Amino acid sequence: MQQPVEFNESVSDALLSDIASTAAEAARAAGRIQLSCFRGDHLAAKKSARDVKLEVDRRCEEAIVRIIRDRFPGHGILAEEDGFRGGSEPWLWIVDPLDGTVNFFHGFPQFCSCVACFRQPENQPPPVDAIGLLAAAEVGAVYVPVFEEMYLGIRGCGATCNGDPVVCNGAHRLSESVVALSFGKTAEGMERMLHITGRLAPRVRKLRSWGCAGLDILQVAHGRLGALLYRGIHLWDIAAAGLILSEAGGHLQACSCNGGRWDMVASVPGLRDELMEVLGSSME
């Protein structure tokens, strides 16, 4: 397992503040585009049996990348639509321009925009191990346009929603908790999650599946969800919200699996041990 990245120099407060304001501005710009198109006519760029890509995704990504490039032209960017674009400085932005695209397409209001910034010792693609990756996170911003909520997490400075602190408190027993999960897109992943559902359903208050990883992780950060399980998601699905959850005091475990995808378990502090006992090796 990759060890957390260590740096000899700390980030200046001024630079960190500029990165945070840029992340928030970029996420909010994407959110405005989403609201302007929500429940209207949107061109579907690509459809599959269990997924959809919209022209709105690309418009949101272009807006985010333009803002980042204007402020930090030497930084690298990893984005859902256009992939990895290197830079000359040891910083990497990870972008999900529209998290919850299928929800958006079908008119469900569970979607958001996610922008994160990571520091790396060299300009290179992100670490393949989540522990190494999340240790390098400096800023995460998630904007939920339907509720006009801006979430911001800054390494070592805590997490906020519209400027108010977010602290991860919640139930201490699964029997008192709502737990969310995603069934993924592959037959193998869905079969595994059905098995997990069978283990969890008798032990929790309710199970839910909303299909927006960034927004779901934020609900764990608030303690509204006791836990969250996703299988086979992308790095940009967890990068920004994962830091916000960590800064709020919650737990996130993630490991890479096939095809550059990730398995993830998030929880409030009081549920971690019981949850892992119930899951056993199900998420391995």
How do residues 114-138 score in pLDDT, each as one tens digit?
999 998 755 455 544 444 566 788 9
Q: Which amino acid is at 182?
A: S
Nearest Cα to 167, choosing from 158, 176, 178?
Answer: 158
CATH fold of 13-165:
Fructose-1,6-Bisphosphatase; Chain A, domain 1 (3.30.540)
For residue range 174-185, list pLDDT tens digits in order: 999 999 998 777
User: Which three-class secondary structure state does DSSP give residue 45?
Assistant: strand
Cβ(106)–Cβ(58) below 8 Å: no
Candidate CATH numbers 3.40.190.80, 3.40.50.300, 3.30.450.20, 3.40.50.1110; the one for domain 174-279 = 3.40.190.80
Strand 251-256 to strand 227-233: parallel, antiparallel, or no bridges (unpaired)? unpaired
Q: Which amino acid is at 210?
A: W
Cβ(98)–Cβ(36) below 8 Å: no
Give the residue ranges of the chain where pLDDT is below 50.
Answer: 1-8, 49, 123, 127-131
Q: In what order do the strands lie in the sheet with 227-233?
A: 206-208, 178-181, 227-233, 262-267, 251-256
Domain 174-279 in the same topology as domain 13-165 = no
Q: What are the beta bridge partners of residue 159?
A: 153
pLDDT value for 284:
56
Parse the chain into domains and list their residue ranges. 13-165, 174-279
pLDDT value for 82:
82
- Mind giving me the DSSP string for 115-183? EEEEE-SSS-SPPSSHHHHHHTEEEEEEEEGGGTEEEEEETTTEEEETTEE------SSGGG-EEEE--
pLDDT value for 146:
97
